[in-house]
């Protein structure tokens, strides 16, 4: 094949035809042709030569040129593509390092092998351009629903034709035991689009919670318009789902709008999800209220929220227990996913028994430590006293409201409590010193003797040891391992030290040791020694 005037125009026509067929820029095809012609010319003139080809975009004329670069004498390696300043003077008036000398060379005739090689280069370039176009087309469609046609099934994975490319619906992203045959129409959620070496990979899903959310957006105009918002979705694919919605228009009921006339809207979603039962729940900013809604159809008697631990206790009547838990724990599991909290469900009898045990334990504590009879100890517990510190350091007026307690009795109670606490502190201090706790740690402001004892038992015996601790090591926290939340016990957690208080203690220790310059800290951190922290959530890590 010779690049002559007879087939110059044909080059451009071929480039445009390929570009139209593959829906890519014709310029990319022409560039691929230029590269393939340059490769063929190199095989004719020599692989070491820097041969370049330029195809005129209007006439189709291909110009072959040889390029030589001016380099320093000691850097001259390739005589065919480089030359020294001295050598360049015969071609150029004032050659400088880095200048290039371009001369046109005769076009080459392409033999069978060269033509085949050129064809491969062009095809490769076209494939790359096609992949880039595919990726650019689908990368912004992640998170939306797409309709496609099943092409084939491979090892349980479904290959779907999505128009200008192929996508994959993996076996674990199908609902239940769905089976598809070639040419079946399928609707999926685009979960991810990745650029990979063999081309863009489009991953589909029918089990993702957002698939259901997008289906509701298609069926409910109010959601599409933003009047109603989907706040949370939880699914057990193919079986049951819960969706929380809120309306920003007081005249529109969010649940009723999603259900539709005679259930037409929700039924359309149910049919697409292979009969998956859907609970539509009104969203509430008040977490306990939202949880009561999320546990429907079960009735809830009481809710106790522990925000720091991200746990919630729900008390239900005995006859509602199985309904609240659901088949194989499904109802409570979906409610937990919806709220983002761990949920403990107990019956009213179990909660009553636990409260009775707490009452008895506190009564026994006051009887043993304050030398009180059972009746008097029960009076203290009934008034809300839970530990000795409250009795020892509370305002005396709060003790005087108890029946039968006068000023002398109140003073005696506080004296006994303080003496017991002081004895405990002395014993803890003595034990800490025996374990090697140094004065630098013992005298550190913010740590009680019992805290020092707990630290020493774990090997933290100096202020330097304490300063190297992480805040979560002291205050504790929660770690998520394989989707399950696991409690990490902190060294000082039993003393109700919050994460912020632990941070302040550690930073104060580092400032005292000179490890941290207070002037480089933020203003609120500079005052660590005198400022007390607020309660905060424990840290959470993904493992």
Q: Could you report the per-residue pLDDT of 424-438, keeping only the tens digit for each?
A: 888 988 898 899 988
Q: Could you report the per-residue pLDDT of 147-178, keeping only the tens digit for each?
A: 889 888 888 888 888 877 788 888 888 887 77
CA angle 515, 517, 518 (to 5 degrees): 125
Q: Could you report the per-residue pLDDT of 370-395, keeping only the tens digit for each?
A: 888 888 888 888 887 888 888 888 88
164-169 long-range contacts, CB within 8 A, separation 24+: 164/23, 164/133, 164/134, 164/137, 165/134, 165/137, 165/138, 165/200, 165/202, 166/202, 167/202, 167/203, 167/204, 168/201, 168/202, 168/203, 168/204, 169/204, 169/205, 169/206
Residue 155 is part of a domain; what is its CATH number?
2.40.50.140
Do residues 315 and 323 lie in contact, with contact meaning Cβ atoms separated by under 8 Å? no
Is 153 in the same domain as 121? no
Residue 284 lies in a domain: no
Q: Could you report the per-residue pLDDT of 265-292, keeping only the tens digit for each?
A: 999 989 888 888 888 989 988 888 888 8
Domain final residue pick, 163, 188, 205: 205
Task: Write out the E strands in 341-401.
Answer: 342-347
Q: Does pLDDT of 541 surpass 60?
A: no
Is 15 in the same domain as 110? yes
Q: Does pLDDT of 66 surpass 60?
A: yes
Q: Which residue has the higher pLDDT, 417 or 536?
A: 417
Q: What's the average model confidence in pLDDT over 319-333?
A: 83
pLDDT at 446: 85
Q: Could you report the per-residue pLDDT of 442-477, keeping only the tens digit for each?
A: 888 888 888 989 898 988 899 899 889 888 888 887
Q: Does pLDDT of 421 surpass 80?
A: yes
Q: What phi, psi does 176 have (nearest 5°)?
A: 55, -130
Q: What's the average model confidence in pLDDT over 406-417?
A: 84
Residue 105 is part of a domain; what is its CATH number?
3.30.1480.10
Please state the pTM of the whole predicted model. 0.55
pLDDT at 6: 41
Confidence of residue 533 (pLDDT cuts 50, 70, 90): very low
Q: In the structure encoding, which two tokens stand for residue 67, read together?
A: 């390029």
Residue 346 lies in a domain: no
Q: What's the average model confidence in pLDDT over 488-497?
A: 83
Give the domain range for residue 54: 5-125
Do residues 466 and 503 lie in contact, with contact meaning Cβ atoms separated by under 8 Å? no
Q: What phi, psi does 161 have (nearest 5°)?
A: -85, 115
Residue carrying structure tokens 């035809």: 17
- Cβ density class 4-22: b for 16+ within 10 Å, e for less: eeeeeeebbebbeebbeeb
Confidence of residue 22 (pLDDT cuts 50, 70, 90): low
Q: Residue 81 and residue 473: Cα distance in Å, rounded?
A: 65
pLDDT at 109: 64
Residue 196, number of CB atoms within 10 A of its CB: 9
Q: Does pLDDT of 538 surpass 50?
A: no
Single out the residue of 327, 342, 242, 340 nearest to residue 293, CA to CA: 242
Helices (H) and strands (E) in the chain, counts: 22, 18
Confidence of residue 528 (pLDDT cuts 50, 70, 90): very low
DSSP 188: E
Is 105 in the same domain as 192? no
Residue 488 lies in a domain: yes
pLDDT at 410: 82
Q: How many domains does the chain have?
A: 3
Is 108 in the same domain as 196? no
Is 115 in the same domain as 144? no
Q: Residue 451 and residue 495: Cα distance in Å, rounded?
A: 8
Residue 299, number of CB atoms within 10 A of its CB: 13
Is 115 in the same domain as 88? yes
Is 113 in the same domain as 90? yes
Q: In the structure encoding, which two tokens stand for residue 138, read together?
A: 């689908």
Residue 252 lies in a domain: no
Q: Which residue has the higher pLDDT, 35 or 280?
A: 280
pLDDT at 483: 60
Q: What is the 3-state secondary structure (H, E, C) of 78-144?
A: CCCCEECHHHHCCCCCCCCCCCEEEEECCCCECCHHHHHHHHHHHHHHHHHHHHHHHHHHHHHHCCC
Residue carrying structure tokens 């200008």: 164
Residue 55 lies in a domain: yes
Residue 92 lies in a domain: yes
Is 17 in the same domain as 68? yes
Q: Does pLDDT of 314 surpass 60?
A: yes
Q: Residue 454 and residue 460: Cα distance in Å, rounded?
A: 9
- Cβ contacts of 136 within 8 Å, gap of 6 or more: none
Q: Which residue has the higher pLDDT, 199 or 127?
A: 127
DSSP 2: B
Q: Residue 212 and residue 206: Cα distance in Å, rounded?
A: 8
Q: What is the 3-state secondary structure (H, E, C) of 429-476?
A: HHHHHHCCCCHHHHCCCCCCHHHHHHHHHCCCCCHHHHHCCCHHHHHC
pLDDT at 485: 65
Q: Residue 415 and residue 421: Cα distance in Å, rounded?
A: 10
Judged by DSSP in three states, 46 sits in coil
Judged by DSSP in three states, 270 sits in helix
Q: Residue 424 and residue 450: Cα distance in Å, rounded?
A: 8
Domain final residue pick, 151, 170, 205: 205
Is 443 in the same domain as 477? yes
Residue 175 lies in a domain: yes
Looking only at the bridges linking them, the beta strands covering 51-55 and 62-70 are antiparallel
For the ranges 255-269, 279-293, 517-531, which has the lowest average pLDDT?
517-531
Residue 159 lies in a domain: yes
Residue 400, number of CB atoms within 10 A of its CB: 12
Percentages (nearest 5) of helix, strand, coil residues in the chain? 50, 20, 30
Residue 441 is part of a domain; what is its CATH number?
1.10.150.20
pLDDT at 76: 76
pLDDT at 529: 41
Mean pLDDT for the chain? 79
Is 447 in the same domain as 483? yes
Q: What percent of the chain has pLDDT over 90?
A: 2
Q: What is the 3-state secondary structure (H, E, C) of 19-45?
A: HHHHCCCHHHHHHHHHHHHHHHHHHHH
pLDDT at 5: 41
Query: Is the four-CA dihedral 90, 95, 98, 103 of positive or negative sign?
Result: negative
Is 492 in the same domain as 464? yes
Q: What percent of the chain has pLDDT over 70?
A: 85
Is 472 in the same domain as 515? yes
Single out the residue of 165, 124, 135 nearest to residue 148, CA to CA: 165
Domain final residue pick, 150, 176, 205: 205
pLDDT at 543: 30
pLDDT at 2: 40
């Amino acid at each position: 094949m010779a690049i002559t005037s007879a087939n110059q125009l044909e080059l451009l026509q071929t480039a445009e035809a390929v570009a139209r067929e593959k829906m890519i820029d014709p310029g990319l095809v022409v560039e691929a042709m230029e590269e393939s012609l340059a490769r063929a010319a190199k095989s004719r003139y020599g692989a070491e030569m820097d041969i370049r080809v330029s195809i005129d975009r209007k006439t189709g004329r291909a110009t072959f040129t040889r390029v030589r670069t001016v380099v320093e004498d000691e850097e001259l390696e390739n005589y065919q593509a480089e030359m020294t300043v001295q050598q360049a003077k015969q071609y150029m008036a004032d050659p400088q390092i880095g200048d290039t000398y371009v001369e046109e060379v005769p076009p080459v005739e392409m033999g069978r092998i060269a033509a085949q090689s050129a064809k491969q280069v062009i095809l490769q370039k076209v494939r790359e351009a096609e992949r880039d176009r595919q990726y650019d087309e689908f990368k912004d469609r992640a998170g939306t629903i797409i309709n496609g046609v099943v092409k084939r099934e491979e090892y349980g994975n479904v290959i779907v034709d999505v128009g200008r490319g192929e996508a994959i619906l993996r076996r674990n992203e199908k609902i239940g035991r769905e089976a598809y045959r070639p040419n079946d129409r399928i609707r999926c959620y685009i979960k991810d689009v990745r650029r990979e070496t063999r081309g863009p990979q489009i991953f589909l899903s029918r089990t993702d919670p957002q698939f259901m959310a997008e289906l509701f957006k298609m069926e409910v105009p109010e959601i599409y318009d933003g009047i109603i918002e989907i706040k949370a979705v939880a699914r057990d694919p193919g079986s049951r789902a819960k969706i929380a919605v809120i309306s920003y228009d007081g005249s529109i009921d969010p649940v009723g709008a999603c259900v539709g006339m005679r259930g037409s809207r929700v039924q359309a979603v149910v049919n697409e999800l292979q009969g998956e039962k859907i609970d539509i729940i009104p969203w509430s900013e008040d977490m306990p209220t939202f949880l009561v809604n999320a546990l429907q159809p079960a009735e809830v008697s009481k809710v106790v929220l522990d925000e720091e631990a991200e746990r919630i206790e729900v008390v239900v009547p005995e006859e509602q227990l199985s309904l609240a838990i659901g088949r194989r724990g499904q109802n409570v599991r979906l409610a937990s996913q919806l709220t983002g909290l761990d949920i403990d469900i107990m019956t009213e009898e179990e909660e009553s028994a636990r409260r009775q045990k707490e009452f008895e334990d506190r009564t026994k504590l006051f009887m043993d430590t304050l030398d009180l009879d059972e009746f008097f100890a029960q009076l203290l517990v009934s008034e809300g006293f839970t530990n000795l510190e409250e009795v020892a350091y509370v305002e005396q007026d709060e003790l005087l409201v108890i029946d039968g307690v006068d000023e002398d009795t109140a003073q005696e109670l506080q004296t006994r409590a303080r003496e017991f606490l002081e004895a405990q502190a002395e014993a803890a201090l003595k034990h800490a010193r025996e374990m090697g706790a140094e004065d630098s740690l013992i005298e550190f402001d913010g740590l009680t003797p019992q805290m020092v004892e707990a630290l020493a038992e774990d090997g933290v015996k100096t202020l330097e040891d304490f300063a190297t601790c992480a805040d979560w090591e002291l205050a504790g926290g929660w770690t998520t391992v394989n989707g399950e939340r696991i409690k990490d016990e902190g060294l000082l957690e039993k003393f109700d030290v919050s994460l912020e208080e632990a941070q302040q203690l550690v930073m104060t220790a580092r400032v005292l040791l000179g490890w941290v310059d207070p002037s480089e800290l933020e203003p609120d951190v500079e005052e660590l020694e005198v400022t007390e922290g607020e309660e905060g959530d424990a840290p959470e890590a993904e493992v």
